[in-house]
């Protein structure tokens, strides 16, 4: 596998020293608009080993605008180039959002368990499973999304004078925990979508007044479907001597592109994630629209029309957050080109809304509820009473000791 964006075929011209030189402008030979050159090697195709070889070739110190290669033989030459992604503030935004979401999701999880007797069983179980999968996904993303065995992100080696094609050609036997991190991310992210889709299905049955006890079925589908998809992805695309068929090299996430950086429909990113998530998001969108239709079809009382409208809007917004509909922005990001302003705007909105989904669930879905506020006030009063009791006992003990 080659971690290259472009391979440029070069035909050399001789000089007085017997070294054939050629200048290459990297800007003319790459379509990597969001990447910068990390290193390059001057090579030729060796038919004896059926691989690139740098024997007899050298690279020379060059300006950023061009690369200079020289070889002691006249063959069809090429330049292998490796790139690294430009540092993006979006990465930091995502990390911060996930870190903020973890504690509030934990609070939501504990609250759901403590107050489970006050509501229907199925929605409570589904929301507990949803929060659990999101917490594990967020923790895994923060701790392991970056591959420590990938090409170093710091510094450019392309002007160091060392011509070594072996540094640019990845023969990547699986090592480290990157594949495990990818498996966990795929599983728990699919589980997150499974449970918010099951939550939508349960709500739809309630709106259509169809009763039933489906909690056990929900659990089997919610935890089982992601396991099937992960197992299928590994069976089809993973090999120990070539894990890059399943995951990426620079980040521990599903592989999506070919060696030239183009989206590959055979990679597991499409059929192992995007396709099932698309189906679930479309169903969730339908349930949200049906819920909003039923809510706004009810007549308003003139005395409280504004309050009722606000409540229905917030209810629809809260449901949309729980159903993960902000992920639709990700598909718009994929459909837009990386060079326009709309791409940057959509990417920013996607990073903020998706990484902060746990915070949104807590604020819109739990913190607004009367039961949550009542439970919180009771807990705060209990803590204050216990604190006052300890202070009074401490004062009494101090007074008695002085006497």
Give the C-alpha distances (Å, rounded to integers) separating 384 from 4, 380, 387, 389: 62, 6, 5, 9
Confidence of residue 132 (pLDDT cuts 50, 70, 90): very high
Q: Could you tell me the CATH superfamily of domain 87-373?
A: Rhodopsin 7-helix transmembrane proteins (1.20.1070.10)
pLDDT tens column, 225-254: 999 999 999 999 998 888 888 998 888 999
pTM of the prediction? 0.72
Confidence of residue 174 (pLDDT cuts 50, 70, 90): confident
Report whether pLDDT(45) > 70: yes
Name the residue with higher pLDDT: 95 or 56: 95
Report whether pLDDT(209) > 90: no
Report whether pLDDT(340) > 60: yes
Q: Tokens 């169809």 identify what position?
A: 210
Name the residue with higher pLDDT: 293 or 343: 293
pLDDT at site 116:
78
Domain boundaries, the chain: 4-84, 87-373
* 3-class DSSP string for 332-356: HHHHCCCCCHHHHHHHHHHHHHHHC
Find all residues with CB under 8 Å of 178, minimum gap 6, and list them: 144, 147, 148, 149, 243, 247, 252
Confidence of residue 302 (pLDDT cuts 50, 70, 90): low
pLDDT tens column, 268-285: 999 999 999 999 999 999
Report whether pLDDT(208) > 50: yes
**Mean pLDDT on 347-368:** 86
**Mean pLDDT on 192-196:** 95
**Mean pLDDT on 134-160:** 73
Give the C-alpha distances (Å, rounded to integers) separating 320 from 101, 131, 296, 326, 361: 17, 15, 16, 8, 10
**Mean pLDDT on 83-104:** 80
Confidence of residue 333 (pLDDT cuts 50, 70, 90): confident
Report whether pLDDT(358) > 80: yes
Q: Average per-residue pLDDT in the chain?
A: 77
Report whether pLDDT(188) > 90: yes
> Within 10 Å of residue 348's Cβ, how many Cβ atoms?
15
């Amino acid at each position: 596998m080659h971690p290259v964006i472009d391979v440029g075929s070069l035909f050399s011209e001789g000089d007085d020293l017997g070294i054939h030189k050629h200048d290459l402008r990297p800007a003319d030979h790459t379509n990597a608009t969001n990447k910068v050159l990390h290193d390059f090697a001057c090579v030729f195709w060796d038919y004896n080993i059926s691989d690139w070889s740098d024997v007899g070739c050298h690279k020379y110190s060059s300006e950023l605008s061009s690369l200079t290669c020289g070889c002691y033989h006249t063959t069809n030459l090429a330049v292998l180039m490796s790139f690294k992604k430009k540092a993006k503030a979006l990465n930091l935004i995502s990390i911060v959002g996930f870190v903020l979401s973890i504690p509030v999701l934990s609070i939501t999880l504990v609250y759901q368990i403590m107050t489970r007797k006050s509501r229907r069983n199925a929605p409570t179980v589904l929301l507990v499973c949803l929060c659990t999968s999101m917490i594990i996904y967020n923790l895994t993303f923060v701790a392991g999304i970056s591959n420590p065995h990938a090409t170093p992100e710091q510094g450019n080696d392309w002007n160091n004078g060392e011509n070594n094609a072996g540094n640019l050609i990845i023969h990547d036997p699986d090592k480290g925990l990157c594949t495990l991190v990818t498996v966990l991310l795929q599983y728990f992210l699919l589980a997150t979508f499974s449970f918010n889709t099951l939550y939508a299905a349960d709500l739809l049955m309630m709106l259509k007044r169809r009763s039933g006890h489906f909690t056990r079925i929900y659990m089997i589908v919610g935890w089982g479907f992601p396991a099937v998809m992960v197992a299928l992805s590994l069976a089809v695309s993973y090999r120990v001597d070539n894990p890059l068929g399943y995951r990426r090299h620079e980040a521990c996430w599903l592989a999506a592109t070919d060696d030239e950086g183009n989206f590959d429909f055979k990679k597991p990113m499409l059929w192992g994630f995007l396709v099932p998530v698309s189906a679930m998001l479309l169903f969730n969108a339908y349930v949200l629209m049906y819920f909003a239709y039923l809510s706004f079809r009810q007549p308003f009382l003139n005395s409280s029309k504004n309050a009722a409208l606000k409540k229905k809007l917030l209810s629809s917004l809260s449901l949309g957050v729980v159903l993960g509909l902000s992920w639709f922005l990700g598909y718009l990001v994929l459909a837009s080109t990386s060079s326009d302003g709309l791409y940057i705007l959509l990417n920013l909105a996607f990073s903020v809304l998706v990484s902060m989904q746990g915070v949104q669930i807590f604020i819109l879905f739990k913190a607004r509820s009367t039961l949550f506020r009542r439970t919180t006030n009771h807990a705060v009063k209990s803590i204050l009473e216990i604190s006052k009791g300890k202070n009074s006992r401490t004062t009494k003990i101090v007074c008695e000791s002085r006497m």
